[in-house]
Amino acid sequence: MKKFSVSSVLGFLFVLALVGTALAAEAAAVDYTKAAVVCVSIFTAGLAVGLAALGTGIGMGNGVSGATNSIGRNPEASGKVMVVLMVGLAMIESLAIYALVIALIALYANPLLKVIGA
């Protein structure tokens, strides 16, 4: 019974502490839509760049691994393998750059802010 009364008193104090916040929110009527869009944009930009870096890192590692294996098995073909490897690495790196561009657009030229009128 004592445990129930202590938790009841703590719950009542918690609700009492939040009443002022609830009343202040009603009085101010602040629209947090722009803040929410900016927050989600920042999170999405970080996630996009992070996943792009992870994916391109794995892809580059696999490409370099395959190239070194093929050069190790056939050293005479190292010139052709290196050319193909460099072109492939450039293509893989362009994917990370595209993700960076999309992240920068989401951060600095966010089209959703124009839609909500902020």
Per-residue pLDDT, 115: 79
Q: Where are the domains of the chain?
A: 1-30, 32-116
pTM for the model: 0.64
The closest alpha carbon to 110, from 50, 39, 30, 52, belongs to 39
CATH of domain 32-116: 1.20.20.10
Distance CA 78, CA 75 (A): 5
Per-residue pLDDT, 89: 93
* pLDDT by residue, tens only, the chain of 118 residues: 555 676 676 766 666 566 666 665 555 556 778 888 888 888 989 999 999 999 999 999 999 999 999 999 999 988 999 999 999 999 999 999 999 999 998 888 888 777 777 5
